[in-house]
C-alpha cells in the first residue's frame, strides 16, 4: 500500500525517507492506486537537468478530466464539486454537483470542438471567477487543448502579449465582471488587445453583467446559445502523460513573461497528492481557496487538486471587503468551510480591520488554514492563528511557485508541528537544499543560502513555451544539476525551512509576482521619462510595495510632479494592470550604475527601505555623486 494520506509525524518521516530512497517506486504506487489511466507508463521517470529534460510516467495514457470528473460519478455524482459564491450577497450561490460538472464540461468541450479547436491548440481564457472559468479550463483538458488562463485583472497589452506568445486562436471571455462595487468592461479590454493579435479567429463571450457591448461580426459569439445546442457527451481525448496540459505566464526579472508549460500525468498526480496531505481533506469537507484561477494556486488548488480527490471546492467571485470586511468569514460560516487557504496580504488587510468582523461569525467548522504567495510575517501568522484558527487549526505555510506546479515545502497539518514564519519541511519526493556563495551546497543546520532542488518532482514545469534556452538559463544555469528557485532561505536547527524572499529582481506585491523589467518598460513609455528603475520596499499590507526612481527628460522637468506620477501609474495600468502601480515615485537626475552600465539596485533598495547606513561601498560606481542626491530626496 502506498501512503497517499499521511496522518502523523512518524509516518511523514517514513514516507519521506522512502520517497527519497526509492522515488520511482514511491510515485508509481501513488499513481497506480489513486488515478485512472487508459494505459500504464513504460517508464516512471527519466531526467537530465543538463538539457534540461524531465519526463514522468512516459508512455502512459490518460485524460485528466476523467480523473477529476468521470470517475467520481458512480460514487459521488450528486456530491457538490464546486460551490460558486457570487460577488453580490443578494445573488444565490451555485452548487454544481459532479454530475452537473460533467455535463457542463462536456457541453463546453463540444462548443470548443465546434469552433475548430483540436488537441494541442492553445486557448486563451480571460474570464472572471465565474463557473465558466473552471468549466472552460476542464473543457480544454477534455479535448486536449492547451489552456492559457490570463488573470482578468491584467491589461489589454499584457493580455495581447500572452495571446501572441503562444499563438492562441481563440479567446474565452465575458461581457464584463464584478469586483465589489465596481463592474469592469472585460470584453472592451479583449477588443483592445485583439487589435494586435492577428492570430485570434474567435472570441466566445459569456454573459455576466448583461452590458450592451459591441460584437465583432464573424469573430465574436455569445457562449450561451452555443452551449444550449451542444451535446452533454464528449469523449475525452486520450493524452500522453507528457502532453502539455496548460501554459501559465509568470514574470521574470527581465523581458517577456515566461509561459511555464505543464504536462498532464505528473502534474495531476502531484497536485492531487499534495492537496490531500497539505489540507488533510476528508470526504465530507468543504474546502475554500480564495485565490483566482488566473494564478497557479487556482489551477492546482481550486480546480485540479481538489477535483482529482473528489472534493467540494469553493470559487469566490468577489473581494474580501465587499459588502464589508466580514465577507470571508460570512462565507466560511455560510458554507461551513473546513479548510481555508489564502495569502498573507489578505490576512494583513483583514487584521487591520475591527475584530468584530471576525467575531460576528461562527468559524467553528474550520480545521486547517493555509497561506501562500509570500513569506508570512510573525504578526500576521499569530493573528490568523489566534482569531481565525482559534489556536486549534494548524497553519500550512505553503512554499511553491508557478514553475513547481504544486506545493513543495509545507507542514502537514496534525503531523508537522508548526513554527510561525516557517514553511517547515519538504513534501515527500522533494529534496531541497541551500546553495552558498561558492556555488556549493551549504551543509548542516542553522544555515542560510539560496533555495534549490536536486531531484525532479512530477509537477515541475517542463519548459518555457517557445524558449527552452531561457528555461535552462533561468532555472538550471546558476548551479550545475540543480533547479534554482530564485528565493533565499534559511534552515533552522531541526531542518525547518524559512523562506526569506526573492534574491533576483522579481518583487512580490500582494502575493503577485512582478518583474521589475516590464514595469520599467511601461514607465519608460511615458514621453517625459528618460530612464527608470523600480525596487520593492516593505509595506504593511502588501508585503512589498513598489518604489520607482525616474529620470525625466529635459522637456518634462518643469511639469507638475504629482501629475507626472499619475500619468506614469496610468501607463503601468495600461501596460500591466493596476496591481503593478507604484506607491512612491522619486524623480532624480541619475541612477547609480556600475561601470558596465548596470543599475545598482542594492543602493536603490537601501534608499527605499530607508536604511542608507547599509549602503556599503559605492566607490566603484560610475557616478557615485548621484547617491547623495537620491538619499537627500528620498520619499
Ligand atoms: C514566489 C512564486 C505558488 C503560488 C503563489 C505564487 C513566493 C510563494 C511562499 C511562501 C514565502 C513564498 C516565493 C516564490 N512565495 N509562497 N509560503 N513563503 N514565499 O506563485 O507567482 O509563481 O511566485 O512566491 O518568492 O518564488 P508565483
83's enclosing H/E stretch is: strand 80-85
Say if CB 430 and CB 409 are below 8 A apart. yes
Cβ-based neighbour number of residue 303 at 10 Å = 25
Residue in 550, 493, 88, 41 with CA at minimum distance from that of residue 264? 41
| Cell numbers linked to 530 | 528618460
Helix 561-575 and helix 156-165: axis angle, to 10°?
A: 30
Domains 98-237 and 506-632 share a fold: no
pLDDT of res. 374? 87
Which residue owns the Cα nearest ligand 1 atom 19? 374
- The architecture (CATH level 2) of 98-237 comes to 3-Layer(aba) Sandwich (3.40)
pTM, full prediction: 0.90
Residue in 189, 162, 192 with CA at minimum distance from that of residue 174? 189
Centre of ligand 1 from the C-alpha of residue 338, in Å: 23
Centre of ligand 1 from the C-alpha of residue 144, in Å: 28
- The architecture (CATH level 2) of 506-632 comes to 2-Layer Sandwich (3.30)
| Cell numbers linked to 119 | 488537441
Handedness of CA 142, 145, 148, 152 (dihedral sign): negative
Which residue owns the Cα nearest ligand 1 atom 13? 374
| Alpha helices per DSSP H over 482-534 | 516-524
Cβ-based neighbour number of residue 104 at 10 Å = 24
Q: Give the pairing type, strands 543-552 and 529-539.
A: antiparallel
Centre of ligand 1 from the C-alpha of residue 343, in Å: 10
pLDDT of res. 2? 61
Residue from 378, 401, 427, 451 whose mutation best tests the ligand 1 pocket (most atoms within 8 A of CB): 401
222's enclosing H/E stretch is: strand 220-222
From the number of C-beta atoms within 10 Å of its C-beta (0-12, 13-18, 19+), residue 627 rates as buried
Give the whole-angstrom CA distance, residue 134 versus residue 310. Answer: 15
pLDDT of res. 596? 63
- Report the atom number in ligand 1 closest to the C-alpha of 501: 25
| Cell numbers linked to 211 | 452590458
Domain locations in the chain as residue ranges: 98-237, 506-632
Residue in 63, 51, 60 with CA at minimum distance from that of residue 32? 60
Q: Give the pairing type, strands 146-149 and 170-174.
A: unpaired
Which residue owns the Cα nearest ligand 1 atom 7? 374
pLDDT of res. 622? 77
- Report the atom number in ligand 1 closest to the C-alpha of 398: 17
Can you give the length of the chain in residues?
635
Give the whole-angstrom CA distance, residue 527 versus residue 567. Answer: 10
pLDDT of res. 599? 80
DSSP string covering 395-429: EEEEB--GGG-S--B---TTTSPP-TT--BSBPTT
pLDDT of res. 518? 82
Low-confidence ranges of the chain (pLDDT < 50): none
pLDDT of res. 595? 67
Give the whole-angstrom CA distance, residue 2 versus residue 377. Answer: 36
pLDDT of res. 254? 66
Residue from 499, 509, 544 whose mutation best tests the ligand 1 pocket (most atoms within 8 A of CB): 499
CA-based radius of gyration for the chain: 24
pLDDT of res. 317? 98
Query: Which residues line the pocket of ligand 1, CB cutoff 6 A?
Result: 250, 296-297, 372-375, 397-402, 423, 485-487, 499, 502, 508, 513
Amino acid at each position: 500500500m502506498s501512503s497517499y494520506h499521511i496522518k502523523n509525524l512518524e509516518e511523514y518521516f517514513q514516507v519521506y525517507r522512502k520517497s527519497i530512497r526509492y522515488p520511482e517506486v514511491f510515485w508509481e504506487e501513488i499513481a497506480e492506486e489513486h488515478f485512472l489511466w487508459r494505459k500504464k507508463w513504460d517508464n516512471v521517470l527519466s531526467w537530465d537537468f543538463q538539457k534540461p529534460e524531465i519526463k514522468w510516467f512516459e508512455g502512459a495514457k490518460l485524460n485528466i478530466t476523467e480523473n477529476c470528473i468521470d470517475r467520481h460519478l458512480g460514487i459521488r455524482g450528486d456530491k457538490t464539486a464546486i460551490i460558486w459564491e457570487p460577488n453580490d450577497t443578494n445573488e444565490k450561490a451555485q452548487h454544481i454537483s459532479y454530475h452537473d460538472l460533467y455535463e457542463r464540461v462536456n457541453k463546453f468541450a463540444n462548443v470548443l470542438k465546434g469552433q475548430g479547436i483540436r488537441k494541442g491548440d492553445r486557448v486563451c481564457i480571460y474570464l472572471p471567477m465565474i463557473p465558466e472559468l473552471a468549466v472552460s479550463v476542464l473543457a480544454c483538458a477534455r479535448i486536449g487543448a492547451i489552456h492559457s488562463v490570463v488573470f482578468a485583472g491584467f491589461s489589454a497589452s499584457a493580455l495581447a502579449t500572452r495571446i501572441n506568445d503562444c499563438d492562441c486562436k481563440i479567446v474565452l471571455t465575458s461581457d464584463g465582471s464584478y469586483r465589489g462595487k465596481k463592474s469592469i468592461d472585460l470584453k472592451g479590454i479583449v477588443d483592445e488587445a485583439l487589435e494586435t493579435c492577428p492570430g485570434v479567429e474567435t472570441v466566445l463571450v459569456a454573459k455576466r453583467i448583461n452590458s450592451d457591448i459591441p460584437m465583432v461580426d464573424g469573430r465574436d459569439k455569445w457562449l450561451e446559445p452555443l452551449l444550449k445546442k451542444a451535446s452533454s457527451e464528449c469523449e475525452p481525448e486520450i493524452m500522453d502523460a507528457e502532453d502539455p496540459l496548460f501554459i501559465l505566464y509568470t514574470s521574470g526579472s527581465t523581458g517577456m513573461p515566461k509561459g511555464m508549460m505543464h504536462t498532464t500525468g505528473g502534474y495531476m498526480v502531484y497536485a492531487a497528492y499534495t492537496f490531500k496531505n497539505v489540507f488533510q481533506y476528508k470526504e465530507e469537507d468543504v474546502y475554500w481557496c480564495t485565490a483566482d484561477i488566473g494564478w497557479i494556486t487556482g489551477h492546482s488548488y481550486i480546480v485540479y487538486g481538489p477535483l482529482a480527490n473528489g472534493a467540494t471546492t469553493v470559487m469566490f467571485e468577489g473581494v474580501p471587503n465587499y459588502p464589508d470586511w466580514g465577507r470571508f468569514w460570512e462565507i466560511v460560516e455560510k458554507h461551513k468551510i473546513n479548510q481555508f487557504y489564502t495569502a498573507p496580504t489578505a490576512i494583513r488587510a483583514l487584521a487591520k480591520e475591527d475584530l468584530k468582523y471576525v467575531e460576528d461569525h461562527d468559524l467553528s467548522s474550520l480545521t486547517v488554514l493555509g497561506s501562500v504567495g509570500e513569506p508570512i510575517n510573525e504578526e500576521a501568522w499569530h493573528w490568523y492563528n489566534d482569531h481565525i484558527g482559534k489556536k486549534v487549526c494548524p497553519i500550512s505555510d505553503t512554499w511553491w511557485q508557478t514553475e513547481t506546479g504544486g506545493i513543495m515545502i509545507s507542514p502537514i497539518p496534525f503531523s508537522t508541528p508548526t513554527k510561525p514564519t516557517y514553511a517547515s519541511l519538504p513534501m515527500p519526493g522533494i529534496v531541497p537544499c541551500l546553495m552558498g556563495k561558492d556555488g556549493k551546497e551549504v551543509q548542516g543546520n542553522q544555515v542560510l543560502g539560496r533555495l534549490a532542488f536536486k531531484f525532479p518532482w512530477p509537477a515541475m514545469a517542463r519548459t518555457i513555451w517557445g524558449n527552452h534556452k531561457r528555461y535552462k538559463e533561468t532555472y538550471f544555469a546558476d548551479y550545475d544539476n540543480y533547479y534554482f528557485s530564485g528565493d533565499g532561505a534559511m534552515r533552522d536547527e531541526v531542518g525547518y525551512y524559512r523562506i526569506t524572499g526573492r534574491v533576483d529582481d522579481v518583487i512580490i506585491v500582494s502575493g503577485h509576482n512582478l518583474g521589475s523589467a516590464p514595469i520599467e518598460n511601461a514607465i519608460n513609455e511615458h514621453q517625459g521619462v528618460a530612464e527608470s528603475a523600480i525596487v520593492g520596499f516593505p509595506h504593511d499590507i502588501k508585503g512589498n510595495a513598489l518604489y520607482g526612481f525616474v529620470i525625466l527628460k529635459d522637456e518634462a522637468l518643469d511639469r507638475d510632479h504629482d501629475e507626472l506620477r499619475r500619468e506614469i501609474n496610468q501607463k503601468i495600468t495600461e501596460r500591466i494592470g493596476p496591481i503593478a502601480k507604484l506607491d512612491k515615485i522619486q524623480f532624480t537626475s541619475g541612477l547609480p550604475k556600475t561601470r558596465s552600465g548596470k543599475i545598482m539596485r542594492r543602493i536603490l533598495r537601501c534608499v527605499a527601505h530607508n536604511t542608507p547606513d547599509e549602503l556599503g561601498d559605492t566607490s566603484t560606481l560610475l557616478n557615485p555623486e548621484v547617491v547623495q542626491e537620491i538619499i537627500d530626496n528620498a520619499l
